[in-house]
Structure 1
């Protein structure tokens, strides 16, 4: 294992310190935790707080999306491990402005349990908290960390939409209703060329042969649904869009947003080749995305691979939220 680190056990606190010290205009650390909060606290006044979080190793998610127009705070657990309830509760208290707090939780058993426990702690202090559990990964129904579908890169669209709604003054109930409408329209699937190496483990989560790929892997190196010989980008796109079409029934009369997400070790050159093939394939459905992002948004440390998210935009207001300006490290 070759990584630019010091002690593998200090990766998360040193990363959080590095982020907050490098971008003090956007984020600051919540003392005694590995959680970060918006630096412009005055701008959060009279707004619902939006928080998210999970295990580290998916950067820039989640801390990179904390800032005006997006998340109010993010909680950084140990690598691929849920943050503790007390850290999540500290983030809830840090962003509560009297209008309540909304939590965006990825569907992993530890995250769901610990965010729920933090919600219970908040209720004892009369802080109203609501949440949504994101389960956008269509690859498998159950995996190593979860009952039901995993929460992956499509979570970023949820961050963006709810953050914009909160910034514009939506109430806690309105944000919950919005989240419930948005969730079933976000679908993601991935392909990996190699697995992630957790610094504390020191070896990859799985081994692929030099000429192998795996479809449907998760963001913690969880297994997917099929291994086979590597194929050209166009054929990878055919597979992934085929699966998304089976799920979503792509329709030229509808609007879609598209997120092409690098898993950590995939060069942007390859991501743009893949995006070109995605756009060509969508043209065969007579679809041109109304919104598009390409880059590293929800990574898996040093995994080589890519994920594709399509989001059916059922309300023009959702597109406005996607385009709403933000001030964050990574958007």
Structure 2
């Protein structure tokens, strides 16, 4: 005689997101962006946000394209517009846009082909992004389009030994470089000049992150994530929840954590991570001017960011550095990148030669 058995349903898992349909999350976000910024338009087929004035702008300006996986909003979609990006191409959540999407964006930015002034394309240093960009750019150049490509790797948590030929992950250093490069494009500078500034700043920026927990993805099936123990932070965690340098418990004071993060960016004696060629870690001789960027991935309040900005600025001054500019903002919001129960702070520095 068969025995009927009952299995208890698995407990519902928290998703940490208000979304309509996971498959449409990117389209919903980017369509909504055009309502918030009426100066933008959205091409749904290729998941591309672009300036409304793009047809006129391309006639006598270098155009700029940023692309990335979705879920990092407002990066790059929120930075399309006057004095910034010409267009943004989005992939699915944490997935690169396809080569076809990127190629279509290039064509959109250069409607006159070889007569156009050219296009700067920027992305974070991730394998899928690099491969798809390479395919798109090879195809575009063969068709006569002028393109310069700059992948940005600024995460000092990934040292030279670990990064190998792949290099560092891209975090928020793009924004420091793009702000200058896109302003030059708006002024009518050449592709060579715009690319020169982009390459210089991208080559002199370092970022480090910290978080209390990993990201929760807004897809239909929530995968089990390796969460951190209570009262623990992970130093060097990536924007997608990639492993960091170390887990620290108990949680250090904000002052101590700020100092430790700046050590990883500024210490020129750390040969594995001394990516910015300062003349000295403390009281550099002639290259002490920096730009500082603090970035939340969604879970940090403005008050906490402001406190970290104050601490970082004081620590920089103590070491003999002068912060020429400070950016404190939620560059990446919590659609997918928000670190649950936590914060992720990044500091970008550049040498003013």
TM superposition score normalised by structure 1? 0.89
The number of aligned residues is: 313
Distance 1:193 1:92, change over 3 A: same
For 1:33, the equivalent position in structure 2 comes to 46
Q: Unaligned 5+ residue runs, structure 1?
A: 316-331
Confirm or deny that 1:294 pairs with 2:337.
no
CA displacement 1:216-272 (0-9 Å, x = unmatched): 011111000100111111111011011111124442642110000001111111111
For 2:237, the equivalent position in structure 1 comes to 217
- The alpha carbon displacement at 1:314 in A equals 1.9
Confirm or deny that 1:233 pairs with 2:254.
yes
Distance 1:252 1:273, change over 3 A: farther
Confirm or deny that 1:55 pairs with 2:69.
yes
For 2:37, the equivalent position in structure 1 comes to 23
Greater Cα shift, 89-98 or 231-240: 89-98
Larger gyration radius, structure 1 or structure 2: 2
Structure 1 segment 38-187 matched on structure 2, within 5 A: 38-41=51-54, 42-96=56-110, 98-141=116-159, 147-187=166-206
CA displacement 1:281-303 (0-9 Å, x = unmatched): 11211323101111111356221
Structure 1 residue corresponding to 2:317, chosen from 283, 298, 320: 283
Q: Which has the higher strand share?
A: 1
CA RMSD of aligned residues (A): 1.9
- The alpha carbon displacement at 1:154 in A equals 0.7
Confirm or deny that 1:262 pairs with 2:300.
no
CA contact (8 A) 2:153 2:171 kept: yes
SS in 2 for 1:187: coil
SS in 2 for 1:59: coil
Q: Unaligned 5+ residue runs, structure 2?
A: 1-14, 268-273
TM superposition score normalised by structure 2? 0.84
- The alpha carbon displacement at 1:31 in A equals 4.7
SS in 1 for 2:312: helix
SS in 1 for 2:46: coil
For 1:274, the equivalent position in structure 2 comes to 308
